[in-house]
Amino acid sequence: MKTRILILLIVLLFGLRICYGLCCYWMPDNLQIYLLGLKYYTTGLWPYFGPDVTYTDSQIPGALQGLLVGLPLYILSIPESPFFVLQVMVLASQVLLVWYVRQRLPAVPGWLVWLWLMSAPWAMAFSTIVVNPSYVLPFATLFFVCLLELLPLYRTRVISPYIAAGAMGLCVTAIMQLHMSWVLLVPYSLVALLYQLREDRRRALRLVPIYLCGLCIGAITLLPTISRYGVHSTGGTEKNVVFMLSNLKRVGDIFLRFLSFASFEVNYVMLAVARTSGDITAEQVWMLPIVIVLTVVGWVQVVYFSFCFFLKSELPEWKPLKVLVLATIGMVSLSFLFSLKGPSPHTFYMLFPLSMFYSLYCYQRLLAQRPVLWQRVFGVMVVLGVLFHIGIARYAYSRYSLYTDRARVVKAITDRDYKIVGRRRADDWGYGY
């Protein structure tokens, strides 16, 4: 019976996530990503370039983003099909992460992991809408699960190192075509392979070519761009590499933002659909107490996660996990010294799975002390979170949803003319896709 109830809850949350994505965020950047796929579907032109980097009027090279949005329209020619396929991809990655957490943290209830991963504010903010960070999440989840297997955290392995190495390589070149944050994956890969070299030289020498094979497989949709454009295949993205010493002072922000990925950071979600959070609660007064409670809980979560860095544990992997998290904060901070864009949280959203994994270790402490009490608390918080998301979707539906413009999308699909919905930025630039 418990299993049936859990499956029912997962199905309901899956439906909520689809509805949320369809109701929220039919905004300029999201529209441009949708147009990538719509242009591919309506014209048949190969999408040599992907997401736009608006700060420098450049485009990320590779066809993967356009294909991920456009191919679902071939399967089912309705405006909603890219949203459905995205949710299937995200759900598959969540299955992997839940399975891995259950292998490593059996004391944490499976229902808690499932419901939290599917309903956390940051899990709803990006992995439900057709925008490039949403597509990063499935690949990032696979990458970090495999990374944890190759690093010296655990004495036993639950994933073959050969599978892990190949999957990591594939994820690097896949994310390379979706988001500029892919560069963060390279140091992780090097450290993992160097550790394997120290642990078992023979095995490491076999892992390297497997990792490279993974890179090549992920790059299949990138090769046409390199073949056609040669030295200009970067799409101008190199212009985003600018030395910005001023970003150094944002280290504290990066630390807090990383931890907040695994918290009830409701304010960021609200400001994505409204000028101020008060605009939403003024129209839907019933949300006000929920917003207040979740805001307080979100800050308490971040403080608790920070406090856990100073705690010891009998688990042998706890110390290396903390080192990994702190090294991640340092690496992200260093990378932003060479970025034109400042460290806004969506720029390193790729780290969401690692933040979640660390937070579940923190929760394990509470669950070990008072399991019944904390399970009830988490259950109540998840319910409040779901009500919050319903309120956000209701507010956004008449303002930013697909259904404010669906008729034009249907016409664009039927007439095979993506410009009925809007123009790609590249159309105005005179170059790119």
pTM recorded for the entire structure: 0.94
Q: What is the pLDDT of residues 293-333, one digit of tens each?
A: 999 999 999 999 999 999 988 899 999 999 999 999 999 99
pLDDT of residue 122: 93
Q: What is the pLDDT of residues 134-145, one digit of tens each?
A: 999 999 999 999
pLDDT of residue 120: 93
**Which residue, 309, 64, 331, is CA-closest to 189?**
331
Beta-bridged to residue 58, according to DSSP, are 53
The 10 Å Cβ neighbour count of residue 428 is 8
Give the H/E segment covering residue 29. helix 28-43
Secondary structure of 363-416 as H, E, C letters? HHHHHHHCHHHHHHHHHHHHHHHHHHHHHHHHHHHHHHCHHHCHHHHHHHHHHC
Q: What is the pLDDT of residues 348-392, one digit of tens each?
A: 999 999 999 999 999 999 998 899 999 999 999 999 999 999 999
Q: What is the pLDDT of residues 246-301, one digit of tens each?
A: 777 778 889 999 999 999 999 888 888 888 888 899 999 999 999 999 999 999 99
What is the domain partition of the chain in residue ranges? 2-422
Q: What is the pLDDT of residues 194-252, one digit of tens each?
A: 999 888 888 888 999 999 999 999 999 999 999 999 877 887 787 877 877 777 777 88
pLDDT of residue 1: 57
Q: Region 421-432: what's the mean pLDDT?
A: 90
Instruction: Determine whether 369 is exposed, middle or buried from the number of CB atoms within 10 Å of its CB (0-12, 13-18, 19+).
Output: exposed
How far apart are alpha carbons 113 and 124 in whole angstroms? 15
What are the CA-CA distances from residue 239 to residues 55, 228, 242, 339 (Å)? 9, 21, 7, 9
